[in-house]
Structure 1
Amino acid sequence: MTATIQALIDAHSNQAGALLPTLHALQAQFGYIPAEATPLIAHSLNLSRAEVQGVLSFYHHFRTTPPGKYVLQICRAESCQAMGGRDLETHAKAALGLNYHQTTADGCISLEPVYCLGNCACSPAVRVGDEIQGRMDVAQLDALIAELRQGAAA
């Protein structure tokens, strides 16, 4: 893994502002930013570990632990909130037994907020992978969660 991390760092190290492209490349490769990447990034980009960690903790997009098999994102933009997104969010947290940025114990589903899916006309919206579903309600969300759990078991 270390060689892959270093290769990704090296591929972006000559860019201006190389830290963000490097972190995006690492997350695209691994699904998260492995802990062993922080000192390698810091050394290669002439940054402190604290600077790298500061960026990782500032941007909610970056994960420092592996995500679940499925990442369920719930839109928190104004349109979705106005159309029932807050109730959907509360229900999802209760149904999964977790909060945002957490993964179910079985590693099946990670729950994440997203701040606009560009589907405002069909609020509230959720996304799993590249699939956006609009006009989501609690019953549909329960069905989606059940479907994801079945997919993980298969």
Structure 2
Amino acid sequence: MPRRSALAGTSSTAEIDDRVNSIVDQHSHLEGPLLPILHAVQEELGCVPQEALPIIAGRLNLSRAEVHGVASFYHDFREQPAGRHTVRICRAEACQSMGADRVAEHAKGRFKLNFGETAADGTVTLEAVYCLGLCACAPAAMVDGKVVGRVDEARIDAIAEEVRA
């Protein structure tokens, strides 16, 4: 199960600044440190908040636009903390050809969420992804980091029960 967001317990921008600066200190010696820093910030805070971007940019001598571009390009980085469980549905062509559109619509209805949304009670976040590398077992999904192949409506129902329990 993913770690619960520490950002919710963060009381101030100064505390976020301190934590982000500490993460940059730990990773700035690496060659190409931006991605490891973004991953570490998300692991620590549960997301990559907007206020972290200028800190990272300044410390790495990059523009804020460069840091934002990388953080927004990769689907794993989010601006808001995710729910306790994350369900990702593959939307790539191979999965679409095997019924992923139908499965995605069923998932949105079952979870009562659109892609990119988190349930009000914080239990689950529903996300679209574009290829999980499980094309031979399409349609595919990922639940809390574990890939699931040959997903159909019944499997979505079972996943919904598991994450809501």
What TM-score comes out, normalization by structure 1 length? Answer: 0.85
- Summarize deviations over 1:65-113 as a string: whole Å, max 9, x none: 0000000011122221111111111111222222222111111111112
Q: Aligned-pair distance for 1:29?
A: 2.6
Residue 132 (str. 1) matches residue 147 (str. 2): yes
Q: Unmatched 5+ residue regions in structure 1?
A: none
Residue 44 (str. 1) matches residue 59 (str. 2): yes
What TM-score comes out, normalization by structure 2 length? Answer: 0.80
Residue 65 (str. 1) matches residue 60 (str. 2): no
Percent of counterpart pairs with the same letter? Answer: 50
Q: RMSD in angstroms over aligned alpha carbons?
A: 1.9
Structure 1 stretches of 4+ with a deviation exceeding 4 A read none
Spell out the pairing of 1:25-104 with structure 2 (5 A cutoff): 25-104=40-119
| 1:149 equivalent in structure 2 | 164
- CA distance in structure 1 between the aligned counterparts of 2:43 and 2:130, rounded to whole angstroms: 20
- Summarize deviations over 1:5-51 as a string: whole Å, max 9, x none: 21211222233433222112212333311333122112211233333
| 2:30 equivalent in structure 1 | 15
| 1:116 equivalent in structure 2 | 131
Q: Unmatched 5+ residue regions in structure 2?
A: 1-15
